Amino acid sequence: MLCDLCGKNQATVHLTEIIDNQMSELHLCEECAHKKSLQMEQQFGLADLLAGLAEFGKPGEDAEATRLKCSNCGLSYQDFKKIGRLGCSECYSSFKKYLSPLLKKIHGSTRHLGKSPYKVGAKPRKKLDLAELHLRLQKAIENEEFEEAARLRDKIRELEKKDETK
């Protein structure tokens, strides 16, 4: 099968695109596939996605952010905004103030809980849920959100009661 774009080379890459619920298939040679991937990256790059989520470059952004650099690898916050990737594990600490809201938007939490192996069962997951609820309870108390704190307290008691009966 020949490449759908150039019509010269053998198609080795098969791409399915879905745009506005319309599916189309492209059969491309390596050269055209590379060009197509560059074109797609320019249209919708990871850095653009992150920029949209974190509202990077918004007016009035903290002047500190423009001068911020990782003490370990030297990556600047501006460079992170451009490429959408951190340079090392220390970048998380260096850019914490600006990464926390982004991580919260992407993952729904700023803490990574991971997954539990199926064989282990639900018990470790319950412990993580309880720990998370205790943290949320502390924050609610600190922020004087007493209705939320009472709701969380009741939920914690309910989970602990279930553990005791087993």
pLDDT in tens, 11-63: 998 878 777 778 888 888 988 888 877 666 555 555 555 555 555 445 555 67
Phi then psi dihedrals of residue 14, to 5 deg? -120, 115
Which pLDDT value is given to residue 57?
46
Q: What is the pTM of this model?
A: 0.38
How far is Cα 122 from Cα 119, in angstroms, rounded to an integer?
A: 9
Three-class secondary structure of residue 110 per DSSP: coil
71: Cβ–Cβ under 8 A, 6 or more apart, which residues?
A: 90, 94
Which pLDDT value is given to residue 56?
47
Tens digit of each residue's pLDDT (9 = 90 or more) over 112-159: 666 656 555 555 566 767 888 888 899 889 889 899 999 999 998 888
Which pLDDT value is given to residue 68?
86
pLDDT band at residue 93 using 50, 70 and 90 as cut-offs: confident
Q: Are strands 22-28 and 13-19 parallel, antiparallel or unpaired?
A: antiparallel
Contact 33, 15 (CB under 8 A): yes
67 against 63, higher pLDDT: 67
Which pLDDT value is given to residue 147?
92
Indicate the domain borders of the chain: 13-44, 47-107, 123-165
